[in-house]
Structure 1
């Protein structure tokens, strides 16, 4: 077993760009006031002006994320490649984990989109996805957002130019997924995308704009497609007070979706997880629903809603986790924005992604 020690997460930009960051802070104050979201501490439940991810989500100044240094274990014989993909809209660096277990034949490709201030290495550590790739023989892509595109390395889910097919970040990321899938002989039915927070919001955008590339989406602590089109509406959406998108999905695709959201998330309001679920439900004209309410082995209460389409395939799973904040459920302590208490979001997403490709389904 090889172990690679990742570098510290890059600190939030501050001294290097004081005027830009001060302007961002002023914009935060004005926008929060505009939407009636005053600094926290008044018991209203409104997000704090200086509460970590709210600031980072749109490039404001905030403290560096926790779990700044992580050790990443790589199985003997596996590869964790560095590469860059260039599309018409620009380029992004990315890492690809090719499991030793694949032996030239992989079962699928999973793209993992990190949250704000995270790196591919940090996200791989926190989600434990590489270990699942070894047992499942699939390849994992970890794109890296550039600081030139967003000062806090957030995917620009709130920008109109990054919400459309053949434009912006969706064009780059979909092209990256196509490239890696082609390299490993993987088709659309075995290509999936997932993410956390801003990464989850971008994963949802990719599902809506490129249903010919991705068969399923995993969204952890994310926001629905069309939740915001600019900075003010992004703050409102994160706080759960935005209007969101009133339109049903126009793709008519069979895209499948699994959603995780904590009911104690004070950074991206839980209403956003339910908004993603409504979009996923809208794709199935004939569906049946199942609801579960159970305790995990650790005693955490979970509500799970499942919709099944007319062909008997699970179209959507919505997991609402009691007591979970803005963190990856069941994540590893070595990564940032993780909650080890579970349930294991990584394992459940992989089970959901691949179940529909198995013969017995």
Structure 2
């Protein structure tokens, strides 16, 4: 899911998701905001009516996902979501509102669920002001849907040099999801390689359920590695030699043998929605 001022086509062209889908044969869905909803093309992650289960933009996206599941015969146990900035915040909202739909999600330079309820509050949270405390953040996830589990695995990526959505938001997202996963504040392991620090939290069974990737000095955007040829740099797509796209696909098990392709005829016949959408399949 794209960030503010972006389109789904730009997000795809830079992030390289379609190129990976061509290689490995998985189905892709790219929701796209329209100016009649938000003049800056931001997903309305800060509007309570748009992030509440069964309402607004999260419902529109859920309808798109359901159409893709049925049209492409998608395995319901292998549905994932990712997004950048406002798209990352909306991806987090989808994970909170529909934890029964998604197995995992990756949030790039995003924000916690229900951290704001107005535009001025949204700007404050982006700057790190007024973020709810851990108890309040965890309560927002629990109240989003009476889910009995399992809960989606969460991966958070953020640059320490991000002054658009400050890194305190990444920490807040981790704090928010720790509660439902039943894990403590300290990571189970920490790995450092180059500019990246990776913290992993494991649950009682030893499974990694939350990851925090911190990239030293990186500004606001999605981390990419253009050397492989799948991705290209651009505004808010930053070539730092680490590909969040490739690593996310591998973590989700999408880098193996080709999966069945999705038929293209009628692919845009989704339920009526306030958002545009694009369904893609690999070229045969």
Q: What TM-score comes out, normalization by structure 2 length?
A: 0.79
* Aligned alpha-carbon RMSD (Å): 2.0
Shift of 1:334: 5.2
The answer to whether the 8 A contact 1:329-1:341 is kept is yes
CA distance 1:338–1:286, shift in 2 (3 Å)? closer
Matched residues in 2 for 1:282 and 1:347: separation? 28
Matched residues in 2 for 1:344 and 1:233: separation? 31
Q: 1:217 aligns with which of 100, 105, 108?
A: 105
Structure 1 gaps, min length 5: 1-112, 296-300
CA distance 1:286–1:231, shift in 2 (3 Å)? closer
Kindly indicate whether residue 253 of structure 2 is the aligned counterpart of residue 354 of structure 1.
yes
Residues 324-360 of structure 1, C-alpha deviations (whole Å, 9 max, x = no match): 10111016335431111231111111122228x99xx
Aligned length: 240
Kindly indicate whether residue 191 of structure 2 is the aligned counterpart of residue 191 of structure 1.
no
Kindly indicate whether residue 237 of structure 2 is the aligned counterpart of residue 237 of structure 1.
no
For 2:271, the equivalent position in structure 1 comes to: none
Kindly indicate whether residue 22 of structure 2 is the aligned counterpart of residue 144 of structure 1.
no
Residues 20-48 of structure 1, C-alpha deviations (whole Å, 9 max, x = no match): xxxxxxxxxxxxxxxxxxxxxxxxxxxxx
CA distance 1:124–1:271, shift in 2 (3 Å)? same
Kindly indicate whether residue 30 of structure 2 is the aligned counterpart of residue 132 of structure 1.
no
Shift of 1:318: 0.6
Structure 2 gaps, min length 5: 226-230, 258-284
Matched residues in 1 for 2:70 and 2:14: separation? 27
Matched residues in 1 for 2:3 and 2:67: separation? 23
Shift of 1:313: 2.7
**SS of residue paired to 1:303:** strand
CA distance 1:286–1:241, shift in 2 (3 Å)? closer
Q: Where do residues 49-198 of structure 1 align in structure 2 (5 Å cutoff)?
A: 113-198=1-86
Q: 2:237 aligns with which of 338, 358, 361?
A: 338
The answer to whether the 8 A contact 1:330-1:346 is kept is yes
**SS of residue paired to 2:181:** coil
Matched residues in 2 for 1:310 and 1:135: separation? 36
Q: 2:188 aligns with which of 259, 284, 289?
A: 289
Residues 95-141 of structure 1, C-alpha deviations (whole Å, 9 max, x = no match): xxxxxxxxxxxxxxxxxx10011111100011011122123321111
Matched residues in 2 for 1:193 and 1:222: separation? 13
For 1:319, the equivalent position in structure 2 comes to: 213
**SS of residue paired to 1:315:** strand
Matched residues in 1 for 2:207 and 2:74: separation? 21
State which structure, 1 or 2, has the greater radius of gyration over its C-alpha atoms. Answer: 1
